[in-house]
Amino acid sequence: MKNVNTFCCLFLSTFFKFSLLVISLISFSGCKSLIEKQAQLPTNTETQVTSLALDNVWSGHRIKPYLLTRGKNQFVGYFDANRQMTIAQREIGKPWRYTKVDSWLGWDSHNYVTMELDADGFLHVMGNMHGDNLEYFRMTRPMNVRSIKRVNVMVDRAIENKMTYPVFMLNKQGELLVKYRSGGSGNGNEIYNIYDRKDKTWSRLHANKFLDGQGLMSGYFEGPTKGPDGNFHLIWVWRNTPNAATNHSLSYARSADLVHWTDSNGKPIALPLTLDRTEVVDPVAPFGGMINGNVKLGFDHKSRPIISYHKYDEAGNTQMFLARKSKSQWQFKKISDWQDFRWDFSGHGSLGRFPVRPQAPELIDDNQIGVIVRKNDDILRFIVDAETLKTIRIETAELYPSELEPITVKSNHKLLSYSVMDMEHRVFKGLGDKGKNGSEFYLSWHSQPGNRDRAHTNISEPSVLLLHEVKK
């Protein structure tokens, strides 16, 4: 009888492990992270990846952390397993130090973390805002993450109560600026502040509003991006209502100092920017298939700005386009020829996983420009002629080094094994400086997808946030 019981226990144990394996495979196959596609790509055997775990982090929905490298110092901002905003700091090669601030994440996928280091070594952190009161934190002692404290007012408490999309940047003099949207989707204004290191105070960069939707629309920006010509280039779309389908009128402006702005011909533009006084690159109409977040800016072999974006073609299909200034006017060229493919998006909140995600055009050489586009689970690189923008060929590409995928999966095998929910493999490329010998830094983790900023039915277990240093 004892042997029978032992046999039954062994059988049940084996069956249980087999069941978990099946669940793991089902969950793994549902992970929308391009695992199958990237597994088919050739691996660069010379690539060296050094990975380390940072923390257990929130995985209940898609939310973007931040990785900043300045010289030998690194900073990471993220939401921990309890949804609390956490900042980590290290000198590369040395242990991490952590601190937590009094800011907790809800279900909104817009509420990312962003940060920048000023010239005196004080870290500035903003985030967790989507039409919310100011959430801003700053070191009180340089290069000391444990000294980070909340700052209740930047410039004007009266308008710092409905803030969205904060972005830090540095001007040509290395001065720290931050920009954000004040107001709501379809009715918001862009505001720039500049930091005084001596007085440790912020002030408005512009005497007037930077952008004014005149109560009819708001702008969704990409940049400003400093180009090879030394100027800052800015592109944006206008949006009439919270409905994402009402994006329209791809627009452009440039500046030498972020204060005074001109069009592509050098003609001054009086602030605030309004639709009737700014330069329209492509007059895509509302419901024309263009969406904020999917307009990307690069530069060609003659340092000219070139923009990748999508819209509907004459047949109603979603297609990729490139726009570039040529002589006195902007020209746009369709580079894809997708048949029976239409992304008919609409509605409010985070839209979940986009079926199309273009990246900024990149110069391959004096004759070719490359544009990487994710179309569903396919990662494509359009190779176009640098002069005509005509598509030469389309090839398979990668969004990030394929070596990162199995490392993240291995670290999160329990999460993937015990969860029957679809999980996305998330990768964020670090910003700022490169590492020794040109190495690059990435963050990776797993999360559930967005759910239009609403709660999921289930909350997944925490994911392991990993930092990778990649050398090629």
Sequential DSSP letters for 269-330: EPSSB-GGGSEEEE-PPTTSS--TT--EEEE-TTS-EEEEEEEE-TTS-EEEEEEEEETTEE
Q: What is the pLDDT of residue 419?
A: 79
Q: How confident is the model at residue 351 (pLDDT cuts 50, 70, 90)?
A: low
User: How far lies 40's CA from each of 54, 378, 402, 416, in Å?
Assistant: 29, 11, 10, 21
pTM summary value: 0.86
- Residue 72: other Cβ atoms inside 10 A: 13
- Residue 76: other Cβ atoms inside 10 A: 27
Sequential DSSP letters for 282-298: E-PPTTSS--TT--EEE
Q: What is the pLDDT of residue 396?
A: 96
Taking alpha carbons only, the member of 98, 172, 85 closest to residue 129 is 85
The amino acid at 91: E
Q: How confident is the model at residue 350 (pLDDT cuts 50, 70, 90)?
A: low
Contacts 24+ apart (CB under 8 A), 91-94: 92/435, 92/436
Q: Which residues contact 81 (CB under 8 A, 6 or more apart)?
A: 55, 56, 57, 58, 462
DSSP conformation class of 80: B
In the predicted structure, residue 438 carries a pLDDT above the cut 60: yes
Rounded CA separation 176/457 (Å): 41
Q: Which residue has the tokens 């298939």?
A: 289
What is the mean pLDDT of the segment spanning 349-369?
Answer: 87
Q: How does pLDDT run across 25-56, given as a tens digit for each residue?
A: 333 333 333 322 333 334 445 899 999 999 99
8 A C-beta contact, residue 379 and residue 398: yes
In this structure, of 10-19, 81-90, 316-325, 331-340, the range with the lowest mean pLDDT score is 10-19
Rounded CA separation 149/140 (Å): 7
Rounded CA separation 220/239 (Å): 7
H/E segment holding residue 218: strand 218-226
Rounded CA separation 76/148 (Å): 13
What is the mean pLDDT of the segment spanning 281-286?
Answer: 97
Q: What is the pLDDT of residue 171?
A: 95
Q: What is the pLDDT of residue 86?
A: 98
Q: What is the pLDDT of residue 337?
A: 97
Taking alpha carbons only, the member of 322, 329, 299, 321 closest to residue 225 is 299
DSSP conformation class of 245: G
Q: How far apart are the first and last CA of the chain?
A: 62
Rounded CA separation 258/284 (Å): 26
What is the mean pLDDT of the segment spanning 259-266?
Answer: 96
The amino acid at 118: D
Q: Which two tokens stand for residue 140?
A: 């009180």
Rounded CA separation 154/141 (Å): 18
Contacts 24+ apart (CB under 8 A), 19-28: 20/417, 20/418, 21/417, 23/417, 23/418, 23/420, 24/413, 24/416, 24/417, 26/420, 27/416, 27/417, 27/418, 27/419, 27/420, 27/421, 27/423, 28/409, 28/416
What is the per-residue burial (b if ≥16 Cβ within 10 Å, else e) of 148-171?
beebeebeeeeebebbbbbbbbeb
Phi, psi of 470 (to 5 degrees): -115, 125
The angle subtended at Cα 287 by Cα 281 and Cα 290, nearest 5°, is: 45
Q: How confident is the model at residue 21 (pLDDT cuts 50, 70, 90)?
A: very low
Bridge partners (DSSP) listed for residue 467:
52, 443
